[in-house]
Amino acid sequence: MESDMSKHIPQKVLIVGGGTAGWMTANLMLAAWADQGVQVSLVESPDVGIIGVGEGSTPVLKRFFTMAGIPEREWMPACNATYKAGIRFIGWSSRPGYESYFHPFFSTFDEHPIRTFLSDADRHRCNQASGVHPDPYFLTSQLANDKLSPRPGLGQLKDQIDYGYHFDSGLLGEFLRKQAVKKGLRYIRDHVEVVERGRDGAISQITTRASGALSADLYVDCTGFSGLLIKEALGERLISFKNNLFNDSAMAVQTPMDTNAPIAPETRSEALSAGWVWNIPLFNRYGNGYVYSSDFISRDAAETEFRAHLGLLEADVAVRHLSMPVGRIENHWKHNCVAIGLSQGFIEPLEATALMTVQLSIENIISFLSRAPDINQSLRETYNANVNNVIEGIRDYIVAHFMMNSRSDTDYWRSCRNDSQPSEALDSLLRAWHSSDDFQAELVRQGARQSYTPASWYCLLAGYGRLPGGPSDAVASSAASGTLGFQVLKQQHGDSLVDHRAQLKALHSLPS
């Protein structure tokens, strides 16, 4: 049985690229296949840097560390990591009472509040009454408000609250490289100059500057936006999402932190004139970035706005500028090459989903290669359809953030609302929400096409104060069930809910 299952696993894998995508791929492939004699190599250019941003995750990353066999007490202190309970959106809606809302990571504790929230929201939506704000309903929103950790300290609550992470992406890469080398990775620091194809179109070998030719059964393209293998050699083209995701540029800067102050376990995402800024708290500093559309603001004006926002107008600190093509390729697995990471596409970072797509892609390819009775074009097509489905589902959810904004202060926000061309699926969802149709039924109808749960959709749409009847200035006063649940939790399990900063300090002092 075992030999049947592993009949198609590649004997030699060559990963090109040592950004987070390359290191995650190396660790998961080694965890899955090293004991079956598979040789995994990774070649990384000394000349081409990593993108060096990407410091927030979804809860899916927890599974990555579990699968790679790496405990939090080892990697979190090494990467100055913190816990993340969700994302706080600020200034996306101009409706009174809805100036901000929290998109929480949901847990078993939220099952009852989710039911109450969805039914309260539907009642208000269909009666065109006042709105229902999501924040009071959910546990992680309350934890973030109180700067408590979503990782309970003791007792029965362990593993019952879901959470993601914030981390230093450069340190995470170094940490994962060392882990992979420990597990048997062959690491080559060299620049790939040529990618050759055989007569069947598949990659036959790659040539590096110093180490000569390298070959493998499976090539993994983790070369970032350049897509050296999948795009340049195999000819895949980016299908642009520019008609509904307008942001194409970003800039990033780190700022200091008072290392005694409490840490909110949240990413903050605040709307500016032509985009939005992120603020990510690590254990020792903040990461900040402005994601904007170059069609609406110049690079210099955007930098001035960003610096003013951060109080850095006079500061002698450099801001790093990045350009950001948004879109995806069609075939992520082509011949004997799989693209993972920025090489396969990028949706802008609003919900910090890129590493989730990386992880789901790696898990999928490992599973396909380990279990398929035969490797053929139809298998590749199924894989590619799965990955595209995940990407498009995430894309729709992110596009909705922009389309639903109610700001009128700049052309950018008006254009996001009026000129975006949503997919059919998103269009149907928004129509259902804005009519008195059964929104939950529409979500169910779209089923597997959706990458986000109904609760996330309701948080977004109710969190913006969007109601079919038009602007609503009143926030419903009911909405107490989550808050009550949180108070009960605090009373019954107070010792499990711990201050986030204090918990991280303790984690840092543990022997690794």
Ligand X SMILES: Cc1cc2nc3c(=O)[nH]c(=O)nc-3n(C[C@H](O)[C@H](O)[C@H](O)COP(=O)(O)OP(=O)(O)OC[C@H]3O[C@@H](n4cnc5c(N)ncnc54)[C@H](O)[C@@H]3O)c2cc1C
List of residues contacting ligand X (CB under 6 A) = 16-22, 43-45, 48, 50-51, 53-57, 169, 191-192, 222-224, 226, 228, 250, 289, 291, 322, 324, 341-342, 349, 352, 354-355, 358
Task: Name the burial class of residue 168, with classes exposed (0-12), middle (13-18) and buried (19+) by CB atoms within 10 angstroms of its CB.
Answer: buried
The nearest distance, CB 26 to ligand X, in angstroms, is 11
Is 84 known to be catalytic?
yes
The nearest distance, CB 291 to ligand X, in angstroms, is 6
- Give the H or E element holding residue 270: strand 266-272
Q: Which is nearer to ligand X, 86 or 341 (CB)?
A: 341
The nearest distance, CB 201 to ligand X, in angstroms, is 21
The nearest distance, CB 280 to ligand X, in angstroms, is 7
Q: 218: closest CA among 345, 334, 67? A: 334
Q: Which is nearer to ligand X, 12 or 445 (CB)?
A: 12
Q: Which is nearer to ligand X, 46 or 155 (CB)?
A: 46
Q: How many CA atoms lie within 13 A of 447 on its CB side?
A: 2
- 328 — alpha (psi -120 to 50), left (phi > 0) or beta? beta
Q: Which is nearer to ligand X, 358 or 398 (CB)?
A: 358
The nearest distance, CB 336 to ligand X, in angstroms, is 18
Query: How far from 29 is each of 6, 214, 230, 296, 333, CA to CA, in Å?
Result: 13, 19, 19, 43, 16
Q: How many CA atoms lie within 13 A of 104 on its CB side?
A: 29
The nearest distance, CB 339 to ligand X, in angstroms, is 9
The phi and psi torsions of 217 (rounded to 5 degrees) equal: -80, -35
Task: Name the burial class of residue 7, with classes exposed (0-12), middle (13-18) and buried (19+) by CB atoms within 10 angstroms of its CB.
Answer: middle
Of 12, 84, 231, 242, the catalytic one is: 84
Under a CB-based contact definition with an 8 Å cutoff, are residues 178 and 70 in contact? no
The nearest distance, CB 375 to ligand X, in angstroms, is 24
Q: Which is nearer to ligand X, 120 or 221 (CB)?
A: 221
Q: Which is nearer to ligand X, 55 or 303 (CB)?
A: 55
Q: Which is nearer to ligand X, 132 or 356 (CB)?
A: 356
Q: Which is nearer to ligand X, 57 or 141 (CB)?
A: 57
Q: What angle do CA 445, 450, 456 make, to 5 degrees?
A: 105
Beta bridge partners of 197: 203
Residues of 129-166 as b/e, b for ≥16 C-beta within 10 angstroms?
A: ebbbbbbbbbbbbbbbbebbbbbbbeeebeeebbbbbb
The phi and psi torsions of 111 (rounded to 5 degrees) equal: -55, -50
Distance CA 417, CA 469 (A): 17
Task: Name the burial class of residue 67, with classes exposed (0-12), middle (13-18) and buried (19+) by CB atoms within 10 angstroms of its CB.
Answer: middle
Q: 364: closest CA among 342, 344, 386? A: 386
The nearest distance, CB 322 to ligand X, in angstroms, is 5
Token digits of residue 375: 């490797």
The amino acid occupying position 444 is V
Q: How far is CA 493 from the centre of its chain?
A: 31
Strand-strand pairing, 39-44 and 12-16: parallel
- Using DSSP's 3-state secondary structure scheme, residue 335 falls into coil
The nearest distance, CB 49 to ligand X, in angstroms, is 6
Q: What angle do CA 401, 403, 406 make, to 5 degrees?
A: 90
Q: Which is nearer to ligand X, 56 or 59 (CB)?
A: 56
- Residues taking part in catalysis: 84
